[in-house]
A = this chain, B = another copy of it.
Amino acid sequence: MATKNAFYAQSGGVSAVINASACGVIETARRHPDAIGTVFAGRNGILGALTEDLIDTGRESDAAIAALRHTPSGAFGSCRYKLRSPDQNRSEYERLMKVFEAHRIGYFFYNGGGDSADTCLKVSQLSETAGAPIQAIHVPKTVDNDLPVTDNSPGFGSVAKYIAVSTREASFDVRSMAKTSTKVFVLEVMGRHAGWIAAAGGLASDATTPIPIVILFPEVTFDRERFLAKVGSLVEEHGYCTVVVSEGVRNPDGRFLADQGLKDAFGHAQLGGVAPVVADIVREGLGLKYHWAVADYLQRSARHIASKTDVDQAYAMGTAAVELALAGKNSIMPTVVRKSSQPYVWEVGSVALSEVANVEKMMPGDFITEDGFGISEACREYLTPLIQGEDYPPYSNGLPDYVTLKNESVEKELPAFEL
């Protein structure tokens, strides 16, 4: 097999474990020097390919690459940039082919979510339509867990663990304070379209540690009166309760609940988070003292409390992507296949990219309880395996020892390209 170089890039919102996939790609490629020469990483995702801003990962030590496994975020930089279709913007694809050719790149590994899968699919079609000798493999990643076919999307399990742990901890706190002070704690979590992350808050409560939790899903239209009745009855019974609210919750009129038409002293519109809105509804409707938190980036970067299952799967997806490439595959994505939930048994599978691109996996309706405020047993059975195991990073001087790579650029061969 003739040696070809590989291109790897990170796309879209990063996660606690996307670098574990990068680690899987690069370490596996290094074990096949007969087939894969250098792995070039795109600086800031696909922009790196378009602008020929390539990072030579060959200049990173084995130790530095190994450290990617325990380092959150995107080590090479990510981007939010969607390639248009070849019909609309032929020049971008021609540019990609030129860059791949100039650097003898035969493998394209793209690490991202649904939009990225679409980009990867289009690149994969270059080998058919344009005769470019490129194999494009998508490496699944998204904290939103909305990629189809795969059991879950690497990145999600660690967010789920963070939210479940944090919800349990903060609930213990409010329970302590409830007699004379805070009775309701509101935690805002990510998930604009689907309630996967909000659902993870429900795991904080289980048979041995019951906690009164109300979940506000984007799948369930917000009903102020029913919500207040639910919170009121839980506080009546338990003395306190915790609300986990998805940023994507909407009012009956279809607007985001976070969009309250707030105006500052000068009359300028202000868009805050949804947590303070929900907290204020609790204050106004029930007169209860509250606290609220917005986890935002903390939830998706919290490598310090990553799920070991998630880290293992992220790494395995990177490894599998390279193995699929070496087996001559194109236009494909490795997947996690669930063989059993109890005990959790999974293996690596794969799916054609055409079945993945632009398909969003929503949460099944039966994952939400009848009243719309909790998770069902089916949901619990699905989620529980994904947060199993801890995979602590090494620490030095009290802080996690995360790696920052050298990220040295490859010399450019081509003239500049205007984006």
Contacts and interface: CB of A to CB of B under 8 A. Distances in A.
Interface of A: 10, 13-14, 16, 44, 47, 71-75, 77-81, 161, 164-166, 168-170, 172-181, 185, 187, 203-204, 206, 208-209, 260-265, 270, 272-273, 275-276, 280, 291-298, 300-305, 307, 384, 387-390, 392, 395-400, 402, 404
B262 A173 contact: no
Given A170-B298, A390-B392, 9 more contacts: A44-B179, A74-B177, A165-B400, A169-B303, A173-B297, A208-B396, A261-B264, A270-B280, A293-B298
Q: How many copies does the complex hold?
A: 2
Nearest to A10: B176
Given A261-B265, A264-B261, A169 B301 contact: yes
Contacts of A399: 164-165, 168, 203-204, 206, 209, 387
Contact of A176 (B14, B173, B389, B400): B14
The 7 closest A-B pairs by CB, nearest first: A74-B176, A73-B172, A293-B296, A387-B398, A261-B265, A169-B301, A44-B179
A214 to B, nearest CB: 16
B305 A71 contact: no
Contacts of A179: 44, 47, 77-79
Nearest to A176: B74
A42 to B, nearest CB: 11
Contacts of A44: 179-180
A396 to B, nearest CB: 8
Chain B CB count within 10 A is highest, among A78, A173, A209, A303, for A173
Contacts of A389: 398
A169 B72 contact: yes
A301 B173 contact: yes
Contacts of A204: 399
9 contacts: A80-B180, A80-B181, A165-B399, A169-B304, A185-B297, A208-B396, A293-B295, A293-B296, A388-B397
